[in-house]
Structure 1
């Protein structure tokens, strides 16, 4: 038996240009509006046997707004960005350009003092691999970074491909399989 995990990217809490590392702001007005517009397609996912979310305010808010009543999973936390927490990429690049370049180039480094990208991808992969197959279906609302990490892990892609995955708010992706053997399932238009 295999498990089906649908990941839902949390609605936004700020414009993409204003995104901050490890930001824990709640949904903004635009985010709430986006949830209302997408609810007809996403609410049925709440029929899953298990419903989880990242511990961030916007992930919890998205899951609650969709009626999922999700269980918070600390393992689905965003990447720990150490001293860069609360800053935008543009701000950090201005003050620490060499550190940003090192971080983007080598997934084993964490010049910010937090979690290396490779460790983050492995942590999310470990969460995927510990979901019991007898659950059948699972839905998890998570930060876009968590969804990217899950895709890189499931597809056994090189860590550098993390930067090439674009995850939009309220987008979904479904992974099916067993620990260490994941497949990406694309949805067809109904």
Structure 2
């Protein structure tokens, strides 16, 4: 049976210029407002057979605000950024420019002491490939933009270097259809 998995990027938790690695902040005022504006368009996802969210506060709050009543899925956690956790990219680049360059250039590198990009993409792909298919047709999941990006790369069998070229905006959605190991990207027509 084919599974339809719709991934929803969590709403904003901070100003885009203040985004931090593994940010644990809840939704900010703008995030709440934006979620309320799009809730009507995402209402059909409330009828999904399974509804998940990543364990971050903003993913949980986004799922609740959308009416999903999501189950927290630890496998959908953001990439482990080790000692960079809680810092902005600008802060890290100012302190460790060579480490940032290595991280961007090599998907196996983890100069921060956490999870390499390749391992992160593989972990998210493992979650995709273990989605129940028996009797489950529709799944919705709210996750951090990095998780959505990793899922897209895995599903499309794209090289890890493409991670840096996928821009996932807050509250954007993407739908994957298929079965474990065989995913397709589904683009819907505008209503």
TM above 0.5: yes
Q: How many aligned positions are there? A: 190
1:12 alignment partner in structure 2: 12
1:184 alignment partner in structure 2: 185
Map 1:1-190 → 2, pairs under 5 A:
1-134=1-134, 135-190=136-191
Question: What is the alpha-carbon root mean square deviation over aligned residues?
Answer: 0.5
C-alpha separation in 2, matches of 1:175 and 1:16 = 27
Q: Aligned with 2:64: secondary structure? A: helix
Gaps of 5+ in 1: none
Greater than 4 Å deviation, 4+ residue runs? none
**Cα shift readout 1:123-175 (whole Å, capped 9, x = no counterpart):** 00000000011210000000000000000000000000000000000000000
TM-score, normalised on structure 2?
0.99
C-alpha separation in 2, matches of 1:171 and 1:141 = 10
**Cα shift readout 1:68-127 (whole Å, capped 9, x = no counterpart):** 010001100000000000000000000000000000000001000000000000000000
Q: Aligned with 1:8: secondary structure? A: strand
TM-score, normalised on structure 1?
0.99
Gaps of 5+ in 2: none
